[in-house]
Amino acid sequence: MPKNTKVTQREHSSEPVTESVADLLSLEHPMDYKSSQMSMGLSPGSTAPVKALLPSPDPDAEDGRPAWNNKLEYILAQVGFSVGLGNVWRFPYLCQKNGGGAYLVPYFILLLLIGIPLFFLELAVGQRIRRGSIGVWNYVYPQLGGIGVSSLMVCGFVGLYYNVIIGWSIFYFFQSFQYPLPWAECPIQRNGSQAIVVPECEKSSATTYFWYRQTLNITSSIDDTGGLNLKMTLSLLVAWILVCLAVIKGIQSSGKVMYFSSLFPYVVLFCFLVRGLMLRGAIDGIAHMFTPKLEKMLEPQVWREAATQVFFALGLGFGGVIAFSSYNKRDNNCHFDAALVSVINFVTSILATLVVFAVLGFKANVMNEKCVVDNAEKILGFLNSGVLSRELIPHHINFSHLTAEGYTEMYGVIKAVKEDSFAQLGLDACLLEDELNKAVQGTGLAFIAFTEAMTHFPASPFWSVMFFFMLINLGLGSMIGTMTGITTPILDAFKIRKEILCVVCCVIAFLLGLLFVQRSGNYFVTMFDDYSAGLPLTVVVILENISVAWIYGTKRFMQDLEDMLGFRPYAFYYYMWRYVSPAVLVLLITATVIEMAVSPAGYNAWVEAEGAESFQDYPPWALAMAYALIVVAMLPLPVVFIARHFNLISDGSNKLSVSYRKGMMKDISNLEEQDEQRFILSKNPSEAPSPMPAHRAYLGPGGTQEMTNTNYGTSTKTGYQNIGSPESEL
């Protein structure tokens, strides 16, 4: 380019360029469109029309971006990211709480309305633009570029505490290599010449005591930090080393890890299902689980919790989905991938629910039998002391072989006769239904209820090792996706060795994660789980939906998908993206805000003297910290919008300034009355082949304006228009 052009002057000046496109191009040498890839978006020597609406390079062009070794690695990565700990310990709890089998109806409906469409949307934009979350949304609509930054920050918050859970699983995994299991019985302490059970354990249970005292050594409030828990600190260090080794080579290393971490949990789940179905009482648990309570379907709370579970089960908004898909070829069938991964996720949740309630059904029977034995001894004591008459006991009742049905009959007779003084006897009903209705989730399911059930298994250490090894792999798969959601946008923006970036990220995360391995760390895990992701991610996803469906344009996006996939997606997606999904997300955000406003902000503190949990309100500093997590996660959204609206920072979609790009767009729109191809190709219009069918409109750089040559009924893609391609962004 001649040195005296205004383009050259622009590189050394901060003043906006005001020259016309005709002046800009008149000094250029004529281009041969047949040998230029930038003129029409064609490969050299080709005259076929351009298919893509987005100004992207040739799909087969070598851009130096890593790629998956094969399709299986990619699918396993997406499955490993979406199928996580929530499928095992959150979905079964929600299913039981919200009507059993009836809960599956709203869940499946919302999976179709918001789950699959939005998952497909994220896969498509990542695959099309081939950038991480920051680069993608900078490119689609620069003023909403804060979407990617918010996704990255939420990934950071979630990764900090999620890896702590993997650390807990690692601790339990190594503790499982002994018989009997260390949480099978309460420890005995010496009091002089007497041996007594530890009071805290006696008031709770062996597994509860091991979790709160032996593992967490928890304090009684969030105000009392208690110092670092060395066992948990070491476990967290091991967890971060595993994550770092898995992602240090990018998808080349994480793809290999996914072969094991994504498939092994299914092996364990099937083993547990087979073993669980052989246990006494397993059918009781499964029948209780799937007995539908249809009246629950009319409660708004059920639909809100189903929408939230769909939302987080697929990993929407985290950036991991976009990052993984950005390493695909542009002609990959991401529509099939979206449906496949969503179905696998749903089936995994059902499988995990069967396993959990088969095991919990067995546990409920064991605990119910224990209850019957304990209360039968109480009744015998009352009979021997004369408090109860032997005439109250049915003649066919045999205390040496007392069944649950026999106890229930005896309990009913005593309650009817001793109605006035019955409460003083302290007898329990010992109903199996009550045991099955004790809903547990999260750490309460994995580290207390399930571990207690496994103590009654034959060869319990083997099953314990398998269970916690499965949790480690489930968590590792999700952490790989979370870390990819963090590192991919940074690697896109800065030329950094991925090995150095991964090590730095893991070291920083470990140091920040020390907050969660204090003796009070479990309370901070709860805080981050409740506040750092829920509302920010919902806002992120609705902005993703709006930026594609309403700002970029649903029709244009559907055309892009047709060009990319080779077929046009169903019209169903058009209406979901444009109307239904945004409406459902708005309702979800509203319901979340209302719930946060009306529900007390607090946590369940462990009271050592009582051997039980007690709800406590957050102190002012902790409440400020909780709300700060929400604010910090969403702060990039308005900051980036304002900064780019007033041209304070680059628009991020290409290397040219905002003012220059806007000036070009304005001049291009004035070419309607001129022979545009005379400046671009140095040829007459009759000599230039039509690069696009007449019915297509070309979307200009950044996706903010259609550029159509009305004189010829065709759209012309030029060299200077190609500045908005993904290869030049960031």
Residue 476, token pair as written in the block = 């590792």
Q: Cα separation of 263 and 728, whole Å?
A: 38
Q: CB of 174 within 8 A of CB of 498?
A: no
Q: In sequence order, which residues have a C-beta less than 8 Å from that of residue 218 and are 6 or more positions away?
A: 212, 226, 519, 520, 522, 606
- The mean pLDDT value of the chain amounts to 76
Q: In sequence order, which residues have a C-beta less than 8 Å from that of residue 437 and are 6 or more positions away?
A: 96
Categorize the per-residue pLDDT at 512 as very low, low, confident or very high, splitting at 50, 70 and 90: very high
Region 497-512 average pLDDT: 90
Residue 398, token pair as written in the block = 């045999």
> Counting Cβ atoms within 10 Å, is residue 124 exposed (0-12), middle (13-18) or buried (19+)?
buried
Residue 128, token pair as written in the block = 């099309």
Q: Cα separation of 9 and 527, whole Å?
A: 54
What integer pLDDT is reported at residue 705 of this predicted model?
A: 40
Q: Cα separation of 655 and 168, whole Å?
A: 46
Q: In sequence order, which residues have a C-beta less than 8 Å from that of residue 400 and are 6 or more positions away?
A: none
Q: Cα separation of 219 and 226, whole Å?
A: 6
What integer pLDDT is reported at residue 287 of this predicted model?
A: 84
Categorize the per-residue pLDDT at 707 as very low, low, confident or very high, splitting at 50, 70 and 90: very low
Q: Nearest 5°: phi and psi at 455?
A: -65, -20
Q: Which domains does the chain have, with CATH numbers?
A: 71-366+440-646 (1.20.1740.10)
Residue 228: CA atoms inside 13 Å, Cβ hemisphere, count?
12
Nearest in space to 19 (alpha carbons), one of 10, 11, 28, 30: 10
DSSP per-residue letters across 576-618: IIIIIHHHHHHHHHHHHHHHHHHS--EEEEEETTTTEEEEEEP
Residue with tokens 């998956």: 68
Q: How many CB atoms lie within 10 A of CB 280?
A: 12
Residue 172, token pair as written in the block = 């339990």
What integer pLDDT is reported at residue 441 of this predicted model?
A: 60
- Binding-site residue ranges: 80, 83, 87, 345, 474, 478
The DSSP code for 319 is S
What integer pLDDT is reported at residue 200 of this predicted model?
A: 83
Most confidently predicted of 6-10, 623-627, 656-660:
623-627
Q: CB of 533 within 8 A of CB of 162?
A: no
Q: Cα separation of 381 and 375, whole Å?
A: 10
Residue 656, token pair as written in the block = 């040219």
Residue 508, token pair as written in the block = 């920083």
Scored b (16 or more CB within 10 A) or e, 680-698 reads: bbbbeeeebebbbeeebbb
Q: Cα separation of 393 and 397, whole Å?
A: 7
| Distances in whole angstroms, Cα of residue 437 to Cα of each of 100, 357, 362, 432, 434 | 11, 11, 13, 9, 5
Q: CB of 361 within 8 A of CB of 285?
A: yes
Residue 334, token pair as written in the block = 């991401």
Of the two residues 8 and 87, the one the predictor is more confident about is 87
Q: Is the pTM of this model over 0.85?
A: no
> How confident is the model over 71-130, as pLDDT tens digits?
888 898 888 888 888 888 788 888 877 777 778 888 888 899 889 999 999 999 988 888
Residue 289, token pair as written in the block = 């689980």
- Binding-site residue ranges for Na(+): 80, 83, 87, 345, 474, 478
| Distances in whole angstroms, Cα of residue 36 to Cα of each of 17, 162, 459, 687 | 26, 50, 70, 16
Q: How many CB atoms lie within 10 A of CB 232?
A: 25
Scored b (16 or more CB within 10 A) or e, 300-310 reads: eebbbbbbbbb
> How confident is the model over 260-318, as pLDDT tens digits?
878 888 988 888 888 888 888 888 888 887 777 777 778 888 888 888 888 888 888 88
Q: How many CB atoms lie within 10 A of CB 458?
A: 8
- Look up residue 598 and give its amino acid: V
Residues linked to residue 189 through DSSP beta bridges, in sequence order? 196
pLDDT at 205 over 70: yes
What integer pLDDT is reported at residue 440 of this predicted model?
A: 64
Region 483-492 average pLDDT: 85
Work out the end-to-end distance of the chain between its first and last CA atoms, rounded to an integer number of angstroms: 24
Classify 190 as helix, strand or coil: strand
| Distances in whole angstroms, Cα of residue 123 to Cα of each of 60, 301, 335, 579 | 19, 30, 8, 20
The secondary element (H helix, E strand) that includes residue 196 is: strand 194-197
Q: How far is CA 382 from the centre of its chain?
A: 55
Region 477-505 average pLDDT: 86
Residue 647, token pair as written in the block = 């041209």
What integer pLDDT is reported at residue 63 of this predicted model?
A: 56
Maximum distance among all Cα pairs of the chain, rounded to whole angstroms:
115
Categorize the per-residue pLDDT at 415 as very low, low, confident or very high, splitting at 50, 70 and 90: confident
pLDDT at 704 over 50: no
Looking at the chain, the whole-number percentage of residues with pLDDT higher than 90 is 19
pLDDT at 632 over 90: yes
Q: Cα separation of 268 and 656, whole Å?
A: 53
Tell me the helix, strand and coil percentages in the chain, rounded to 5: 65, 5, 30
Query: Residues 426, 430, 436, 442: is their CA dihedral positive or negative?
Result: positive
What integer pLDDT is reported at residue 196 of this predicted model?
A: 82
pLDDT at 41 over 90: no
